[in-house]
Structure 1
Amino acid sequence: MNDMTPLKPNDFATDQEVRWCPGCGDYAILKGVQRTMAEMGARPENTVFISGIGCSSRFPYYMETYGFHTIHGRAPALATGVKLANPDLDVWIITGDGDGLSIGGNHMMHVLRRNLDCQILLFNNEIYGLTKGQYSPTSREGTRSPSTPYGSVDHPAEPGTFALGSGARFIARCIDTAQKQMPGILKRAHAHKGASFVELYQNCIVYNDDVFAGFTEKKQAPFTQLWLEHGQPMLFANGEKGIALDADTLSLKIVHVVDGDWEAAGVRVHDEKNRVMAGLLVAMRHNEGMPVALGVIYEDPAPSFEEDVRTQNVEAAKGKVVDLEALIKKGQTWEVNQKKLREV
């Protein structure tokens, strides 16, 4: 589709049967992404979805764009090649907590460190779904699974902390069912020049059902979710509570807001460029009684990897003439004399 006719979400849906378990959170994420594509005017011919292995990695089959279903954990490496070959393409990496943080952890670290201009959507359901429910790098301690029948003794990885430690310049979080907020977060990720890391809490209805219910349950959501907005106070519980910094312990704490005076209560204003605060916010969900930080947690742009590579190549080519034969013969070369070979 090469014309500029406005597209609808269904224009990004393929004719392939969507094959996830009934009730899987992946369906909601797929709809959210297709809706986002349409709203931001994305073009199928300029968009690529690249995935590894796992339930989430079936995603490219269901997007009417270019796509590449690669091998376990290696989607970032393939995406790097695609972006270097054609920097003008919009590259989206689809991965899961197992695919992206276990066998693909090394690749994930380097694509974030290099700051490749791409959008990384990590579906986190805290379990291996495709291979029938083994515990994953993000599974909680005590998780019982076929591979941990007596309960996992591993300390789980925190995706946001991992991304921040790897040098990510954009970190955000969303919930699979948060369809109102998801398009805005994905648009922000797309607008960011560099690697955007978006963690999506996704419910696995078969092997880890309701693992996030503690903060996703609708009635409790206002009291368990902290939706962040740059330049705005960190308020939740309908504005009756907020997040403040404990100066003695340099940790975050909940404070009560009286008569809407959040400043008097010491509530912090969200600053997306504050890397130290970002680290505290991503870790906050592991502190009992604290809400889960959602939305754009951190953004501090820097030059992208392919932009630097392109600039370097242009500079290196200045004043040089393309000569393939000279390149081939450069260095240690020799000529085979057929006559002398016959004499030997």
Structure 2
Amino acid sequence: MAIATNGNANGAAVKLTRRDFASDQEVRWCPGCGDYSILAQTQRVMPELNMPREKIVFVSGIGCSSRFPYYMNTYGFHTIHGRAPAIATGLKVSRPDLMVFVITGDGDALSIGGNHLMHVLRRNVDLNIVMFNNRIYGLTKGQYSPTSERGKNVKSAPMGAPDHPVNPLSLALGAEGTFVARTIDTNTRHLVATLERAAAHQGTSFVEVFQNCNIYNDGAFMHLTAKDVADDRTLVLEHGEPMIFGKDHNKGIRLNGIEPEVVTIGENGITEDDILVHDETRASSNMAYILSRLDYPEFPVPIGVLRATDKPTYDGTVQEQMEAAVARHGEGDLDALFNHGDTWVVEDE
């Protein structure tokens, strides 16, 4: 893949590195926070995207994750709670030449920002949305969030959270997202690969990142990520490959009618041919939706790209309409518009 370059004072191309994308701001997250990993891997991906820094913009809302634009040596907006997708949409429509990332958290995106998230996915704006999911409100000191488990005992719910949690991937698929994926902060190789895939997608890419908040929800995903259990409790999705998992690489997912089930290859006549083959490009999101509902302990938790399909983008369609309007009516004249029709002047007495 081509390496992004910027010109030096003499006009010569200069290869950009991860360090070029790190700003001079002190990173102010709690020591040990999973956000550090996501930041580091994002900075690592940036030089591979073949985009100069002045063409990249990070837009965030409110929350721990939303400090992100300060730490990227690109353009950025730290906006308001839940509204980052709306602001990013306006930016992308007005400047289609930019690569725009939306950085958000489970509270910012799925509570106050849920409506904006749904519509940016439905519209298929060419944005890259990275949602940090730590299943807690960290910045406001540990209240339960839309993704917190039902019954979770926290300061805002001393008798246990009464809500049923939101499933971010199911919501994104229900809103007809064209690129829906999940990765984990501690699996850096997988995180990098997923971010690269998301950035290359034309349309809205939605990436959920399981991220540890070691202060208010430490170990939220340890039952999936610990080295001694990860192979048995996560399912790494790869396009065109059978859905096989496990330390011995002998477990798989198949459909029993319309219901998924875990089977063991070599038992009861089960062979690899019985295992579902992942197809992320299917126009229908039915299988992707089934995968989004798989959860521990009954199933391994899928990570990877659940769905990656193509359809016209909102910003691309708007640009086509503007070009058609100019071709039909000519360039607009704002002064003429203001002075068209009945006008009047209010005189000072």
TM-score by length of 2: 0.92
How big is the shift at 1:219? 0.9
Unaligned runs of 5+ in 2: 8-12
Aligned residue number for residue 263 of structure 2? 255
1:323–1:38 Cα change, 3 Å? closer
Query: Following superposition of structure 1 onto structure 2, how do residues 20-39 of structure 1 map, counting pairs within 5 Å?
Result: 20-39=29-48
Look up the equivalent residue of 2:67 and give its one-letter code. R
| Aligned-partner SS, 1:164 | helix
Q: Is the 8 Å Cα contact of residues 242 and 272 (structure 2) preserved in structure 1?
A: no
1:303 to partner: Cα distance: 1.1
Q: Distance in 2 between matches of 1:51 and 1:6?
A: 27
Q: Is the aligned partner of 1:310 residue 2:319?
A: yes
The Cα of 1:38 is off from its aligned counterpart by 2.2
Hey, what's the Cα distance between the residues in 2 that align with 1:172 and 1:72?
Answer: 23
- The question of whether the paired residues in 1 share the 8 Å contact of 2:65 and 2:104 is answered with yes
Equivalent in 102, 111, 114 of residue 120 of structure 2: 111
In structure 1, the residue matched to 2:55 is 46
Question: Partner of 1:72: helix, strand, or coil?
Answer: coil
- Matched residue, 2:193: 184
When structure 1 is superposed on structure 2, of 36-45 and 144-153 the one drifting more is: 36-45
Residue of structure 2 equivalent to 1:2:
6
User: Structure 1 16/315 Cα, relative in aligned 2: closer, same or farther at 3 Å?
Assistant: same
Q: 319, 323, 339: which is aligned to 2:333?
A: 323
Cα pair 2:224 2:230 within 8 Å, conserved:
yes
Match of residue 150 from structure 1: 159
**Structure 1 residues 213, 317: closer, same or farther in 2, change over 3 A?**
same
Q: CA deviation at 1:326?
A: 3.5
Cα gap change, 1:258/1:72 in structure 2, threshold over 3 Å: closer, same or farther?
Answer: same
Runs of 4+ in 1 over 6 A off after TM superposition: none
Contact in 2 for aligned 1:2/1:45 (Cα 8 Å): no
1:239 and 2:243 matched = no
Query: 1:25–1:125: structure 2 CA closer, same or farther, 3 Å change rule?
Result: same
In structure 1, runs of 5+ residues without a counterpart are none
Task: Write the letter of the residue equivalent to 2:338.
Answer: I
* Alpha-carbon distance in 1 for matches of 2:281, 2:50: 28
Instruction: Tell me, yes or no, if structure 1 residue 127 matches structure 2 residue 127.
Output: no
Q: State the identity %.
A: 51
Separation (CA, whole Å) in 2 of partners of 1:337 and 1:74: 39
Is residue 243–residue 267 contact of structure 1 (8 Å, CA) maintained in 2?
Answer: yes
* RMSD of aligned alpha carbons: 1.9
How do residues 156-235 of structure 1 correspond to structure 2 at under 5 angstroms? 156-235=165-244
* Structure-2 residue corresponding to 1:280: 290
> What SS does the aligned partner of 1:5 have?
strand
> How far 1:102 sits from its partner (Å)?
0.5
Q: How far apart in 2 are the matches of 1:288 and 1:128?
A: 25
In 1, Cα distance between the equivalents of 2:277 and 2:333?
Answer: 58
Q: 1:62 & 1:314 partners in 2: Cα distance? A: 37
| Deviations 1:245-297 (CA, angstroms, capped at 9, x unpaired) | 111xx1211111129x9755610000102310100111102x53210100111
Asked whether the equivalents of residues 59 and 79 of structure 2 are also in contact (C-alpha less than 8 Å), the reply is yes
Q: How far apart, in 2, do the equivalents of 1:292 and 1:308 lie?
A: 36
1:77 and 1:324 map into 2 onto residues whose CA distance is: 25
Among 68, 80, 96, which residue is 1:87 paired with? 96
The answer to whether the Cα contact below 8 Å between 2:240 and 2:278 also exists between their aligned partners in 1 is yes
Q: How many Å separate the matches in 1 of 2:227 and 2:271? A: 28
CA contact (8 A) 1:123 1:199 kept: yes
Offset of 1:84 from its aligned partner? 1.1
Offset, 1:17: 0.8
Q: Is the 8 A contact 1:257 1:265 kept in 2?
A: no
In 1, Cα distance between equivalents of 2:187 and 2:314 = 32
Partner Cα distance (1:319, 1:9) in 2: 46
1:337 shift after superposition: 8.9
1:70-91 Cα shifts (integer Å, max 9, x gaps): 0111111110111111101010
On the 8 A contact 1:163/1:197 being kept in 2, the answer is: yes
- In the alignment, is the contact (CA less than 8 A) between 1:255 and 1:265 conserved in 2? no
Q: Partner amino acid for 1:95?
A: T
59-68 vs 261-270, which moves further: 261-270
